């Protein structure tokens, strides 16, 4: 008996939903065509049948009461489906003057000039922009040769928690203009839809320009120094408070404050060796960094 009551309650809930949909459809009856009127009438008839089935399920009978409730639910589901189909064809009816068509999507609502309850005047109620969101950036002369149209870009904004893929859409051939003296203007477009919260916000751009094929030996950039003939070297501290030694290296890719180095003699520098990254102070030891082996997938980045 409890199961029968549960089935009847469920059928009543579905019937209530069908009635609500019917009321909404009838409200739009005066603004739909003859075809939709016929469809709504069919939905009315279906609800009537469903109501009759529900009443039948409520009456005690020697037949299976669960089957009766099940049949009533099926009738109500059919009525609800028919009403949904009518609603999909009628939709929201509004005067043509109240609709604005944009040439492309997505489009963003950039301003809303009224609040609920405000009197409507001659001023625009809202402003819509169909323009795509892009990042206007600039690169230095030193980085210009690493950037080309079509390069992938990672756009990040930490405070909003946004990280979105992009691509270099434009990069100037000559410095100046809006980028400033000695800098090249660059435009980055987004790949896919991006949150409009980024509008007018400063972002970080990362452009991979090269990558190593495997693990490499790297030291802090500040650990590099130059010899009199222009060769690069690092200063290594093997034993604390003991004299240091210099190791000639060939620098490679750099990223995140680290630079790839290849020692002239492969055994002169190993991962874990302490390298000097600051000048010796009379009151304390040298600042020291550690030679590391970054992962093979680590790649340098550029910002704009």
Neighbour tally for 2: CB within 10 Å? 6
Structural class in CATH, domain 218-290: mainly beta
| pLDDT, tens only, 54-110 | 666 666 555 566 776 777 777 778 777 877 777 777 666 778 777 878 777 767 777
CATH 1.20.1270 fits 2-90, yes or no: yes
Max alpha carbon distance in the chain (Å)? 108
Report the range of poorest mean pLDDT among 27-31, 66-70, 225-229, 231-235.
27-31
149-176 mean pLDDT: 91
Nearest to 218 by CA among 167, 173, 277: 277
4-18, 108-122, 159-173: least confident range? 4-18
CB 237, CB 288: distance < 8 Å: yes
Please tell me the least confidently modeled range out of 61-65, 148-152, 251-255, 272-276. 61-65
Of 16-30, 35-49, 209-223, the range with the highest mean pLDDT is 209-223
Q: In Å, how far are 68, 98, 284, 302 from 93, measured between CA atoms?
A: 39, 10, 80, 51
Average pLDDT of the chain to the nearest whole number: 77
Kindly state the DSSP code that residue 271 receives in the 8-state scheme. Answer: T
Q: Assign 229 a pLDDT band (cuts: 50, 70, 90).
A: confident
Q: 122-130 contacts: CB < 8 A, separation 24 or more?
A: 128/100, 128/102, 130/102, 130/103, 130/104, 130/105
Residue-wise pLDDT for 94-138, tens only, equals 787 778 787 777 677 778 888 888 888 888 888 887 677 889 999
Task: Sketch the domain layout of the chain as residue ranges.
Answer: 2-90, 134-206, 218-290
Looking up tokens 């005066």 gives 30
Q: How many whole angstroms separate alpha carbon 74 and alpha carbon 122?
A: 52
Q: How far lies 185's CA from each of 108, 180, 205, in Å?
A: 25, 8, 14
pLDDT, tens digit (0-9, with 9 covering 90-100), for 169-192: 999 999 988 888 889 999 999 988
The predicted structure's pLDDT at residue 284:
47
Fold of 134-206: Elongation Factor Tu (Ef-tu); domain 3 (2.40.30)
């Amino acid at each position: 008996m409890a199961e029968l009551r549960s089935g009847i309650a469920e059928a009543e809930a579905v019937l209530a939903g069908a009635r609500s949909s019917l009321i909404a459809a009838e409200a739009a009856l005066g603004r739909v065509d003859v075809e939709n009127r016929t469809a709504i009438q069919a939905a009315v008839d279906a609800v009537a049948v469903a109501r009759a089935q529900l009443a039948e399920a409520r009456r005690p009978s020697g037949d299976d009461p669960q089957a009766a409730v099940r049949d009533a639910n099926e009738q109500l589901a059919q009525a609800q489906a028919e009403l949904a189909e009518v609603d999909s064809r009628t939709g929201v009816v509004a005067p043509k003057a109240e609709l604005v068509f944009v040439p492309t999507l997505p489009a963003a609502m950039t301003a809303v000039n009224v609040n609920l309850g405000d009197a409507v005047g001659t001023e625009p109620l809202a402003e819509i922009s169909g323009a795509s969101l892009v990042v206007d950036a600039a690169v230095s002369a030193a980085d210009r040769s690493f950037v080309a149209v079509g390069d992938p870009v990672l756009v990040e904004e930490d405070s909003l928690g946004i990280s979105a893929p992009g691509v270099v859409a434009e990069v100037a051939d000559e410095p100046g203009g809006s980028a400033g003296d000695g800098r090249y203007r660059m435009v980055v477009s987004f790949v896919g839809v991006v949150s409009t919260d980024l509008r007018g916000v400063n972002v970080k751009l990362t452009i991979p320009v090269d990558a190593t094929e495997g693990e490499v030996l790297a030291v802090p950039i500040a650990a590099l120094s130059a010899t009199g003939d222009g060769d690069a070297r690092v200063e290594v501290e093997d034993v604390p408070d003991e004299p240091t030694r210099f190791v000639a290296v060939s620098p490679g890719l750099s990223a995140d404050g680290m630079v790839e180095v290849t020692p002239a003699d492969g055994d002169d520098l190993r991962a874990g060796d302490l390298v000097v990254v600051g000048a010796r102070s009379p009151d304390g030891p040298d600042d020291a960094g550690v030679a590391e082996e970054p992962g093979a997938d680590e790649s340098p980045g550029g910002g704009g």
